[in-house]
Amino acid sequence: MESLLIKGGVPLCGDVTISGAKNAVLPIMAATLLTDEPCVIRRVPNLSDVKFMGQILTWLGASVKFEGDSVRVHARKIKGAGDYDLVRKMRGSICIMGPLLGRLRKAVVSLPGGCVIGARPINLHLKGMAALGAKIKIQSGYVEATAKKLSGAALFLGGRAGSTVLGTANVLMAATLAEGVTIIESAACEPEVVDLASFLNAMGAKITGAGSPTITITGVKELHGAEHTVIPDRIEAATYAIAAAATNGEITLRNARADHMHAVLDKLKDTGVKIDRAGSAITVRRNGKLQPVDITTLPYAGFPTDAQAQMMALMALTPGISIITERIFESRFMHVSELARLGADIEIEGPSAIIKGGKPLSGAPVMASDLRASAALVIAGLAARGTTQVNRVYHLDRGYENMDAKLRKLGARVERVEET
Ligand code: EPU
């Protein structure tokens, strides 16, 4: 296993080009299953999760060819069921269910179960597919959705934490090939859902309202091949923006969408960081002392849960008390005890973390537990005195393209080494 060895204390300065969004490309790749014609997706990030989704599509019978930063998928003939355990390995692969049900009227996948950030149920995905007419059976750890006919319906997808991103994606994809009109209420408004809807519309789907809580889908008989360029990764961009603030640096994010990042950029402004926008470039500059802020994670357009850990690393460096409340995933605080190993003073009370910031951080070996927790440890390591070794870096490779190379280009002293 590999680790990142970080010699901290260098302000990060320069330009970083933001890659295509992981959480947009995964459902978009799944959507290629809806047609027997070839599709080309561009600005695809080179990530282990993306490679894994490629393997799943191949397993289902599609031809998948990665070329540079594009992928060409041709799902001429596919199967919708089988004895496989794909979803358990990558939670995001649950989004193959909607397209399989839409195209083949049958989808069988293993139930994903929980993961380190929380329980992660799929009851809302199933509720949505059942509303379209699917019969759902859960047996021996697998979920099977079958339908003789899918019919449009009005359905409510709100749950305990608000909306569901991949649940909305699944129902949206299945409904494109249902008969009649489907109206999803309390749909997720995330930019990744909008990007998926744009791709589906390019394939011939009839979707309006994506990006709002009400999405309307008029079913069509079939979809055709299409080309699409994936939106920039707003969480990767947020991570580098926070790293600029944490290291007292100045970073220009290239190919970024500030309009997808209002909540994060606004909170960074509240900490005293200076933000300048010029077209698709966002420059983030630390402007002297940082101020503590309180944050609550919420569905889009609220503060994203996927940037919560990184922001906590920044607040650990900020004198004063900050409170971060996690409202999306109940146990997404795995980074707290590892940040404490670097000297951070953080207490957890229910869904909130109370950060008594401003204590100097010093390097230590730490263990990455999930993707965003790893990013938080990297940020803390970059700002800490001495050397930090972030172990289990494969978590980072799931969602950050070439992170160590990008950081080196910004002046960081980071190397990838074999874990000792
Ligand atoms: N939920 C339910 N029932 C469901 C589905 C979700 O109760 O059927 C609950 C969840 O337990 C959670 C909340 O609803 O409390 C939101 O979960 P959501 O379904 O929106 O999460 P997801 O679609 O499985 C995607 C991203 C996550 C990101 C969340 C929230 C992908 C591949 N994953 O997951 O990304 O945190 O939305 O924005 O798109 C990451 O990139 O690090 C990551 C974990």
The per-residue pLDDT string of the chain (420 residues; one tens digit each, 9 = 90 and over) reads: 899 999 999 999 999 999 999 999 999 999 999 999 999 999 999 999 999 999 999 999 999 999 999 999 999 999 887 556 677 778 889 999 999 999 999 999 988 766 777 778 899 999 999 999 999 999 888 899 999 999 999 999 999 999 999 999 999 999 999 999 999 999 999 999 999 999 999 999 999 999 999 999 999 999 999 999 999 999 999 999 999 999 999 999 999 999 999 999 999 999 999 999 999 999 999 988 999 999 999 999 999 999 999 999 999 999 999 999 999 998 899 999 999 999 999 999 999 999 999 999 999 999 988 999 999 999 999 999 999 999 999 999 999 999 999 999 999 999 999 987
Of all protein residues, the one whose alpha carbon is nearest to atom 36 of ligand 1 is: 306
Nearest to 57 by CA among 13, 93, 103: 93
Q: Give this prediction's pTM.
A: 0.98
Dihedral sign, CA of 85, 86, 92, 98?
negative
Dist. CA 324 → ligand 1 center (Å): 19
Dihedral sign, CA of 156, 144, 136, 63?
positive
Question: What is the residue-wise DSSP string for 24-48?
Answer: HHHHHHHHGGG-SSEEEEES----H
Identify the residue whose tokens are 């965003």.
372
Find the residues whose C-beta lies inside 6 A of ligand 1: 23, 26, 91-92, 118-125, 159-161, 164-167, 305-306, 328-329, 371-372, 399
Element (H, E) at 67: strand 63-67
Q: At how many degrees (to 10) do helices 191-202 and 165-176 cross? A: 10
The answer to whether residue 95 is catalytic is no
Dist. CA 225 → ligand 1 center (Å): 28
DSSP 370: S
